Amino acid sequence: FPKLFQPKKKDDCIVIAHRGASAYYPENTMAAFRGAVAMNSDMIELDVMLSSDGVPVVFHDARLEEHTTGRGLLTDYSLPALRALDAGSWFGSPFAGSRIPTLEEVLEFASDTIALNIEIKTEAVSKQQGGVEEKCLELVEAHGMKEHVLFSSFDYRAVTHLKTLDPAVPVALLYNRSLSNGKMPSNLVATYRADAFNCSYREFTKKWRKNIREHKIPHFVYTVDRPRQMRKLLAAGVDGIFTNKPDLLQSVAAQW
């Protein structure tokens, strides 16, 4: 598996801060990413969408209402229009004025500091002539982060497209039931040329665990904020856990 930043825990399960330390800060903002670093996370997960003028920006939802002062679809907004929105006050007044980051801004911050899991959202993949995969890859290379990034997507087109552009770039397939026809993880990663398999802890069955172990597939499981569930996954030997509470996962893993 391609080299990522070394996990800080001796048991090799990496702590992935989901949308940053998003239990404590507004998700997918620089505050959440700084919090993730302060909490000793091994990796930050973030979501990438494309603005109407084709810039990769960091945001999870298709629509703006819930997590910003904007209205409607993110993809209808240009970068300057998105940057004018407040992406923090929904979480609490201390975060008022937080902006939607660009991917470039996050790569600048992360470079030499922390590994990133860049999830490409299907809205960005579907955008006509969007070229989101090329754009992200170019930015990652420009910041010297190729060995410290794991791409992922629920959209299997993006998984294969990234591997076609650069077979050396690490890409995880995010399990998507409607695209999978009941296939096993080993079959899916081979079909779509992925390096790793990511799924929800709810989908992580015994049958899959056996298949993943037999085929030695790197795997990362999301999104786990309860100690009992964290301990179960540590016992199962997963390669990484996504959590909104990286401090909690660090302390559970330390006592493990």
174 binds, options ligand G3P, Ca ion, none, Cβ within 5 to 8 A by partner type: ligand G3P
Is position 222 an interface residue for ligand G3P (rule: CB under 6 A)? yes
**Single-letter residue type at 146:** K
Task: Please give the residues from 46 up to 75 whose contact with Ca ion meets the rule CB under 5 A.
Answer: 47
Among 47, 133, 155, 239, binds ligand G3P (CB under 6 A): 47
Is position 247 an interface residue for Ca ion (rule: CB under 5 A)? no
Give 187 or 233: the residue with its C-beta nearer to Ca ion: 233
Binding mask 103-122 for ligand G3P (x = CB under 6 A): ----------------x---
**Single-letter residue type at 170:** P
To the query of whether residue 219 is one of the catalytic residues in this protein, the response is: no
CB 88, min distance to ligand G3P, A? 19
What beta strand segments (E) does 97-249 contain? 115-120, 149-153, 171-174, 196-200, 219-222, 240-243
CB 22, min distance to ligand G3P, A? 9
How far is residue 103's CA from residue 137's CA, in Å, rounded to a whole number? Answer: 11
Task: Please give the residues from 127 up to 186 whose contact with Ca ion meets the rule CB under 5 A.
Answer: none
Residues 6+ apart with CB under 8 A from 107: 116, 139, 140, 142, 143, 145
Which among 208, 210, 245, 211 has a CA at the least distance from the CA of 230?
Answer: 245
CB 44, min distance to Ca ion, A? 11
Q: What share of the chain is helix, strand, coil (3-state, %, to 5)?
A: 40, 20, 45
Binding residues for Ca ion (CB under 5 A): 47, 119
